Amino acid sequence: MKTVTQLGPGRPRLEPRRRAGQTPRAEILDAAAELFTGHGYGNTSTRAVADAVGIRQASLYHHFASKDDILDALLGETVSAPLELAGKLAGRAEPAAVRLYALAWFDVSQLCASRWNLGALYLLPELRSDRFARFRERRDELRGHYETLSAAVIAEAGAAAGSPAGSAVPGAELLPFRLVESVIDMRSDEGAAPEYAEQLIPDAILRLLCWTGSLAETRSAALELAAQFPAEQE
């Protein structure tokens, strides 16, 4: 049941605005994220999104040409900040363990801090279409950063242990990215973002790579490093 509210001159809006976003675009994205993650992408129409914001469908189309465009914008939010950080970390002189820790800590934190668990949309079959090729490329690029940094950590750990190859299992560099994204499953299973994950996951990543230095020192250096790169406002 919808309430028709007369807000003054002009056409009545279906509902008073009740979204946190500061712009109509942000309100649309917030409503769509709630519906896509809570009700299902296939079960949600652009009409339902417009209703949830309290605007007409025609107004929604002024901002997004299609439901896929809304999804693409939401997915982009989940990779843009970690990708930006990864790019900056690539050129730094800090040990790879500190840089990988900083990236994983930042990424887990942002996946937890978002109002809706958007990573739950990564497995939608719709994402395999050409429409989402750019998003897939960007997520692949982020995965590549994790793999490069992880391989460098394995090399550092091996050098410290006096062995050229280290003791990490072959292919271990593929898994830190997966551990970071597992926070999406934890959040889904637990019904809330797991507060312990932003330390547990980066700590466990270094152990998985058979890196044997001090976690406390590396964590402290990593948080300091990440703080030097505040995320740019979109």
**Token couple for 136:** 């897939």
Instruction: Tell me the residue type at 152.
Output: A
Tell the smallest beta-carbon distance from residue 41 to a copy of itself (Å).
7
Dihedral of the alpha carbons of 90, 91, 94, 99, in degrees to the nearest 10: -20
Q: Which is nearer to a copy of itself, 14 or 204 (CB)?
A: 204
Tell the smallest beta-carbon distance from residue 74 to a copy of itself (Å).
15
Tell the smallest beta-carbon distance from residue 16 to a copy of itself (Å).
26
Tell the smallest beta-carbon distance from residue 36 to a copy of itself (Å).
9
Q: Which is nearer to a copy of itself, 179 or 225 (CB)?
A: 179
**Residues 120, 181: Cα–Cα separation, whole Å:** 10
Residues in contact with a copy of itself by the rule CB under 8 A: 37-44, 120, 122-126, 140, 143, 167-172, 174-175, 178-179, 181-182, 184-186, 188-189, 196, 200-201, 203-204, 207-208, 210, 215
Query: Rounded to whole angstroms, what are the CA distances from 43 to 38, 59, 73, 103?
Result: 10, 21, 19, 34
Q: For 155-168, b where at least 16 C-beta lie within 10 A, e where not — what string?
A: bbbbeeeeeeebeb
Q: Which is nearer to a copy of itself, 10 or 125 (CB)?
A: 125
